[in-house]
């Protein structure tokens, strides 16, 4: 079975900071990876699909990339509205979410 | 606009079954699949399974096989998720989401249905 890890599990950063989250899969998932944002009390929202494609209507400060076997998610300039938990999700073999990264403002 | 509207909260006793509905509108129901995701209180997202867009093909997470059934009524654009033999560990918010693939991206979500299992 595929296992997904995310790091860090939580972070606190200042407004305007660059924030990066890393997701790793226990086996090759062939870039079949998406990123979601979930704010408290709300349903998740798709931000990035297929590792690096920005979903329509999502601000360009959000981006996804691939670095070797790691999948990275970056917020180029953290905004107060970005306080949320972020999840990666693989769909190469059925589907599975990572454990999540909670982001808040310092 | 695309909307997925789920049925209301449920309270069930251990050992019972629950059926959650998800009515879609604003798009052609048979052009997309539906995925089900749950979230226990204070916990992360857990993918449960997927039902396909046309022939009712299903895929379930190993954890739920034998205990879950996902169906769809194309005449009413409604998807259903039934979970049997409930335990307290099944207390969670259950979401349906429109799925672009088999599964792949979940681009529109329902509002969630809280299922509480308690004796």
Q: Which of A23, A43, A47, A55 to mutate to test the interface with B (most CBs of B within 10 A)?
A: A43
A67: Cβ contacts below 8 Å, ≥ 6 apart:
none
Percent of chain A with pLDDT over 70: 100
Cβ-based contacts of A85 with chain B (< 8 Å):
44
Chain B residues with beta carbon closer than 8 angstroms to that of A97: 37, 44-47
pLDDT for the residue B105: 97
Q: A1 or B16, which is more confident?
A: B16
Closest-CA residue of A relative to B114 is A41
Picking from A46, A94, A100, the nearest residue to B105 by CB comes out as A46
Which string of b and e fits B54-92 if b means at least 16 CB within 10 Å? eeeeebbbeebeeebbbebeeeebbbbbebeebeeebbb
Q: How far apart are CA B103 and CA B57, in angstroms?
A: 11
A95 and B95 in contact by Cβ < 8 A? no
* pLDDT tens, chain B, 119 aa long: 999 999 999 999 999 999 999 999 999 999 999 999 999 999 999 999 999 987 779 999 999 999 999 999 999 999 999 999 999 999 999 999 999 999 999 999 999 999 999 99
Question: A38–B45: do the CB atoms touch at under 8 Å?
Answer: yes
DSSP letter at A93 equals S
DSSP string, B26-93: SS-GGGSEEEEEEE-TT---EEEEEE-SSS--EEE-GGGTTTEEEEEETTTTEEEEEE-S--GGG-EE
Say if residue B87 is preceded by a cis peptide, omega within 30 of 0. no
């Amino acid at each position: 079975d595929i296992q997904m890890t995310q790091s860090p599990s939580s972070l606190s950063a200042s407004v305007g900071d660059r924030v990066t989250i890393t997701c790793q899969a226990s086996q090759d998932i062939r870039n079949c990876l998406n990123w979601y944002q979930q704010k408290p009390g709300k349903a998740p929202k798709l931000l990035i699909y297929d590792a690096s494609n920005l979903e329509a209507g999502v601000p360009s400060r959000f981006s996804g990339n691939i670095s070797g076997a790691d999948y990275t998610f970056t917020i180029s300039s953290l905004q107060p509205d970005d306080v949320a938990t972020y999840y990666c999700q693989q769909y190469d073999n059925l589907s599975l979410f990572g454990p999540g990264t909670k982001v808040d403002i310092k | 606009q695309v909307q997925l509207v789920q049925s209301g909260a449920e309270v069930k006793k251990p050992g019972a079954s629950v059926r959650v509905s998800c009515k879609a509108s604003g798009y052609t129901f048979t052009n997309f699949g539906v995925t089900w995701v749950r979230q226990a209180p204070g916990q992360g997202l857990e993918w449960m399974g997927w039902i396909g867009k046309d022939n009712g093909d299903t895929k379930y997470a190993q954890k739920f096989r034998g205990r879950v059934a996902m169906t769809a009524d194309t005449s009413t654009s409604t998807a259903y998720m039934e979970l049997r033999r409930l335990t307290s560990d099944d207390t969670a918010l259950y979401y349906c989401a429109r799925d672009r693939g088999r599964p792949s991206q979940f681009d529109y979500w329902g509002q969630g249905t809280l299922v509480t299992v308690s004796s």
